[in-house]
């Protein structure tokens, strides 16, 4: 009961407030076009009917929540998952390049961090470039990556994954630099008294000490990877994927499709972040964290 | 040689104390100085320290904060480099001694690795030093028994009390065969009751293992209770003001702290601290 009162009710109140604002906003945003339609059809509905019409347009400026829910439900559960319309299929396409890019990005981020921590020259030379790399808008980089790679014959999953890599290596690199430098002076002194080598200090002290930092930054990185994968689908003229759905939706003013693709994207993001969180928690428990 | 001078000046207290200090020299410092360069100018952490620690001795270093007692321990351990003077550990430089794994160091905080069980914390130095896993298991069993932690092998550090954690860190320092144990206020963060208990356990352990122990503390009763030799230090610059050979027998029940002999030594330590202006400011 306390769980209900303390956790569910606050969330429910916020959700209800958002839905209320959304429905009201939908009325006002869809009203001009609806009025136009009604004028042309010489209809004069009363207020109630008019509001109902603004919530039931085919291509609304702002779809009402139930329209999105309906579309999402239909394209997720009622369409065969092999169909081009299926959100499961499109999510899977995006997910596969997200995961590949995330894996690349995590490995790259860790390698960069190891280099920065152990080689003073890299610490000074690499870090400014890494930070600068993240100030360039991904939307500007993405088409160039796709075009350049296509020119040398690399197409398909890899170019999209590389855009995810570009976004996801950064949080991992920064987090791991911090993590690998996180051991106490006391622990480092202790290893020194054992006359431990650099490699032993790395594997027995720095790496385990960095694990919590790794999972925290991986949570950020996996969400960034998904953004990268979606953005990567936009300039490629990709035929499938959440990004492709968004693009197609905007071409044909299928706003409801766009919104339900967005919802699919957020569901994937939540699942990915939660999955990293669960794995992280599992590893930390294995490593003796307090339950 | 201020060692012999101090011993001579020890007068009546030093009578008949030589029972344990007849072994070979383990640590020998001559004119040892260390100056830290800080933003506020140089700080003389150690000035002209002359000191010998013999095999089997239990030497306490006592003094207020900033007297250099921890710094001296860290110089022995090759965690700090002296600015001038000489120091030898087992007849070698501190660096060579460290490379030969000549000492075990117990820090003020237990410093256990939180991701390792107690057992795996104790095997840490053994893994680094390349002991076989059978040998590791045997040594873990032996050293945990020595510090009364048998049965806690699979626990993680946070599941143990502060005193038990510190005992585990002592086990870790004992796990490999270093004859010299350097202890930097190991019981400083513990309450008095636990500290009494650990002190008597430490004496027992010392008697059983015949190690040489250098022990930093700022507790007068602790220093007098544990030591065969007490080095009184004072700050600015860090130096030795008195060196007291204890006349207490090797076998020391906790009640020995009520005897006149004990109180006499404690009094002299206090006098030494006062002479070093340690009670000022």
- Burial bucket for residue B188 (CB in 10 Å: 0-12, 13-18, 19+): middle
Residues of chain A with pLDDT under 50: none
Question: Do residue A126 and residue A231 come from a single domain?
Answer: yes
Question: Do residue A42 and residue A184 come from a single domain?
Answer: no
CB-based contact A204 B124, cutoff 8 Å: yes
Place of tokens 């999972």: A215
DSSP-assigned beta bridge partners for residue B243: B231
B128 touches chain A (CB under 8 A): yes
Domain B2-102+178-275 top-level CATH class: alpha beta
Judge contact between A28 and A74, C-beta under 8 A.
Answer: no
B156 touches chain A (CB under 8 A): yes
| Rounded-to-integer distance, Cα B244 and Cα B233, Å | 11
CB-based contact B115 A211, cutoff 8 Å: yes
**One digit per residue, pLDDT tens: chain B, 281 residues?**
344 444 444 333 433 344 444 578 889 889 888 988 888 888 888 888 889 999 989 999 998 888 888 999 999 999 999 999 999 998 899 999 899 888 999 998 999 999 999 999 999 999 999 999 999 999 999 889 888 889 999 999 999 998 899 999 999 998 888 889 999 998 887 888 888 888 888 898 888 888 999 999 988 989 999 999 999 998 888 888 888 888 888 888 888 888 999 998 999 999 888 877 655 54
Distances (CA, A) of B215 to B60, B94, B163, B182: 5, 17, 17, 6
Residue A82: inside a domain: no
Judge contact between B209 and B17, C-beta under 8 A.
Answer: no
CB-based contact A194 B77, cutoff 8 Å: no
B107 touches chain A (CB under 8 A): yes
Total residues belonging to chain A: 291
Out of B101, B114, B128, the one facing A200 most closely (by C-beta) is: B128
Question: Do residue A122 and residue A243 come from a single domain?
Answer: yes
Main-chain dihedrals φ then ψ at residue B241, nearest 5 degrees: -100, -25
Out of A186, A192, A204, the one facing B109 most closely (by C-beta) is: A186
Question: Do residue A23 and residue A167 come from a single domain?
Answer: no
Q: How does pLDDT run across B27-38, given as a tens digit for each residue?
A: 988 988 898 888
Compute the nearest-CA separation of A96 from chain B (Å): 33
Neighbours of A16 (CB within 10 A): 10
ipTM, two decimals, is 0.83
Closest residue in chain B to residue A190, using alpha carbons only: B105
Residues of B in contact with A208 (CB under 8 A): 113, 115-116
Q: In B, residues 214-273, which contact A (CB 8 Å cutoff)?
A: none
- Can you read off the two tokens belonging to residue B2? 């201020």
Count the alpha carbons within 13 Å of A72 in the hemisphere toward its beta carbon: 19
CB-based contact B156 A186, cutoff 8 Å: no
Strand ranges of the sheet holding B25-38, from the earlier edge strand across to the other edge: B41-54, B25-38, B84-89
Within B191-248, strands assigned E span 212-217, 229-234, 239-245
A186 touches chain B (CB under 8 A): yes
Residue A72: inside a domain: no
B157 touches chain A (CB under 8 A): yes
Angle, vertex CA A64, rays to CA A62 and CA A68, nearest 5? 100
Residue A68: inside a domain: no
Closest CA to B250 of B21, B53, B62, B51: B21
**What residues have CB less than 8 Å from B61, skipping those under 6 apart?**
B69, B72, B73, B214, B215, B216, B217, B231, B233
Strand ranges of the sheet holding B239-245, from the earlier edge strand across to the other edge: B103-106, B180-184, B212-217, B58-62, B229-234, B239-245
DSSP alpha helix (H) spans, B63-191: 69-76, 94-99, 118-128, 133-146, 162-174
Q: How does pLDDT run across B110-151, given as a tens digit for each residue?
A: 999 999 999 999 999 999 999 999 999 999 998 898 888 899
Count helices and strands (H / E) in chain B: 9, 9
The domain that holds A191 is classified in CATH as: 1.10.3720.10
Compute the nearest-CA separation of A126 from chain B (Å): 30
CA dihedral sign, ordered B129, B135, B140, B146 = negative
Closest CA to B18 of B7, B29, B26: B7
A199 touches chain B (CB under 8 A): no
Q: Which pLDDT does position B9 carry in this prediction? A: 41
Residue A70: inside a domain: no
Angle, vertex CA A120, rays to CA A118 and CA A123, nearest 5? 90
Question: Do residue A97 and residue A132 come from a single domain?
Answer: yes
Question: Do residue A56 and residue A100 come from a single domain?
Answer: no
Range of the domain at A104: 87-286
- Can you read off the two tokens belonging to residue A265? 């994207």
Place of tokens 């009201």: A24
Question: Do residue A57 and residue A92 come from a single domain?
Answer: no
Candidates A288, A289, A290, A291, partner chain B, best to mutate (most B CBs within 10 A): A288
Question: Do residue A154 and residue A16 come from a single domain?
Answer: no
Question: Do residue A174 and residue A36 come from a single domain?
Answer: no
Compute the nearest-CA separation of B110 from chain A (Å): 9
Q: Count Cβ neighbours within 10 Å for each residue of A96-122 and write b for 16 or more, e otherwise.
A: ebbbbbbebbbebbbebbbebbeeeee
How many CB contacts within 8 angstroms connect chain A with chain B? 54
A185 touches chain B (CB under 8 A): no
Q: First-to-last CA distance in chain A? A: 23
CB-based contact B158 A184, cutoff 8 Å: no
Q: Which pLDDT does position A194 carry in this prediction? A: 93
B24: DSSP letter: -
**What residues have CB less than 8 Å from B87, skipping those under 6 apart?**
B27, B28, B29, B30, B32, B75, B76, B93, B94
| Rounded-to-integer distance, Cα A145 and Cα A158, Å | 10
Q: Which pLDDT does position B74 carry in this prediction? A: 92
Q: Which pLDDT does position A236 carry in this prediction? A: 64
Residue A167: inside a domain: yes
CB-based contact A189 B124, cutoff 8 Å: no
Residues of A in contact with B107 (CB under 8 A): 186, 189-190
Question: Do residue A57 and residue A105 come from a single domain?
Answer: no
Q: Which pLDDT does position B1 carry in this prediction? A: 37
Place of tokens 């152990």: A118
CB-based contact A194 B156, cutoff 8 Å: no
Longest CA–CA span in chain A (Å) reads: 91
Compute the nearest-CA separation of A118 from chain B (Å): 20
Out of A187, A211, A287, the one facing B111 most closely (by C-beta) is: A187
Closest CA to B32 of B105, B94, B108: B94
Place of tokens 């991986």: A218
Compute the nearest-CA separation of A172 from chain B (Å): 21
Domain count of the fold of chain A = 2
Residue A81: inside a domain: no
**What residues have CB less than 8 Å from B57, skipping those under 6 apart?**
B20, B21, B23, B26, B212, B213, B228, B229
B92 touches chain A (CB under 8 A): no
The model's pTM: 0.82
Question: Do residue A128 and residue A234 come from a single domain?
Answer: yes
Q: First-to-last CA distance in chain B? A: 31
Question: Do residue A132 and residue A7 come from a single domain?
Answer: no
Domain ranges of chain B: 2-102+178-275, 114-177
């Amino acid at each position: 009961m306390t769980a209900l009162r303390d956790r569910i009710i606050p969330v429910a109140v916020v959700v209800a407030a958002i839905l209320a604002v959304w429905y009201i906003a939908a009325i006002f945003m869809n009203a001009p076009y609806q009025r136009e339609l009604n004028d042309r059809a010489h209809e004069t509905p009363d207020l109630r009917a008019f509001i109902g019409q603004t919530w039931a347009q085919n291509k609304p400026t702002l779809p009402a929540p139930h329209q999105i829910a309906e579309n999402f439900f239909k394209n997720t559960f009622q369409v065969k998952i092999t169909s081009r319309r299926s959100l499961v299929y499109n999510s899977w396409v995006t997910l596969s390049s997200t995961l590949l890019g995330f894996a690349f990005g995590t490995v790259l981020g860790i390698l960069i961090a190891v280099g920065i921590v152990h080689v003073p020259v890299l610490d000074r030379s690499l870090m400014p470039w890494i930070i600068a790399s993240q100030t360039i808008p991904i939307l500007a980089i993405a088409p160039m990556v796709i075009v350049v790679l296509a020119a040398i014959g690399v197409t398909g999953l890899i170019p999209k994954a590389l855009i995810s890599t570009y976004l996801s290596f950064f949080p991992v690199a920064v987090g791991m630099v911090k993590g690998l430098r996180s051991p106490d002076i006391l622990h480092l002194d202790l290893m020194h008294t054992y006359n431990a080598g650099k490699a032993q200090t790395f594997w027995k002290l720095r790496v385990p000490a960095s694990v919590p930092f790794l999972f925290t930054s991986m949570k950020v990185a996996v969400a960034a990877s998904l953004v990268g994968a979606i953005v990567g689908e936009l300039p490629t003229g990709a035929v499938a994927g959440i990004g492709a759905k968004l693009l197609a939706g905007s071409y044909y003013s299928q706003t409801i499709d766009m919104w339900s693709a967005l919802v699919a994207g957020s569901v994937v993001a939540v699942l990915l972040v939660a999955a990293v969180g669960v794995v992280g928690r599992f590893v930390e428990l294995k490593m003796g964290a307090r339950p | 040689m201020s060692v012999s001078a101090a011993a001579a000046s020890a007068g009546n207290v030093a009578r008949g104390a030589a029972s344990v200090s007849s072994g070979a020299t383990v640590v020998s410092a001559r004119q040892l100085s260390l100056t830290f360069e800080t933003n506020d100018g140089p700080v003389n952490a150690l000035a002209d320290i002359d000191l010998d620690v013999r095999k089997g001795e239990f030497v306490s270093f006592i003094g207020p904060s900033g007297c250099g007692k921890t710094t001296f321990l860290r110089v022995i351990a090759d965690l700090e480099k002296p600015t001038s003077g000489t120091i030898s550990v087992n007849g070698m430089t501190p660096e060579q001694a460290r490379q030969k794994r000549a000492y075990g160091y117990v820090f003020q905080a237990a410093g256990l690795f939180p991701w390792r069980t107690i057992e795996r914390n104790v095997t840490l130095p053994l893994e680094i030093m390349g002991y076989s896993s059978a040998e590791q298991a045997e040594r873990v069993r032996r050293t945990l028994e020595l510090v009364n932690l048998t049965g806690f092998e699979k626990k993680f550090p946070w599941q143990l009390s502060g005193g038990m954690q510190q005992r585990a860190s002592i086990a870790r320092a004992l796990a490999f065969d270093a004859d010299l144990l350097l202890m930097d206020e190991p019981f400083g963060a513990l309450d008095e009751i636990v500290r009494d208990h650990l002190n008597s356990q430490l004496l027992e352990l010392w008697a059983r293992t015949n190690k040489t122990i250098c022990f930093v503390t700022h507790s007068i009763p602790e220093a007098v209770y544990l030591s065969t030799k007490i080095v009184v230090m004072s700050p600015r610059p860090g130096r030795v003001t008195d060196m007291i050979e204890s006349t207490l027998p090797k076998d020391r029940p906790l009640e020995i702290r009520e005897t006149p002999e004990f109180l006499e030594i404690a009094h002299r330590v206090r006098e030494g601290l006062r002479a070093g202006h340690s009670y000022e400011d």
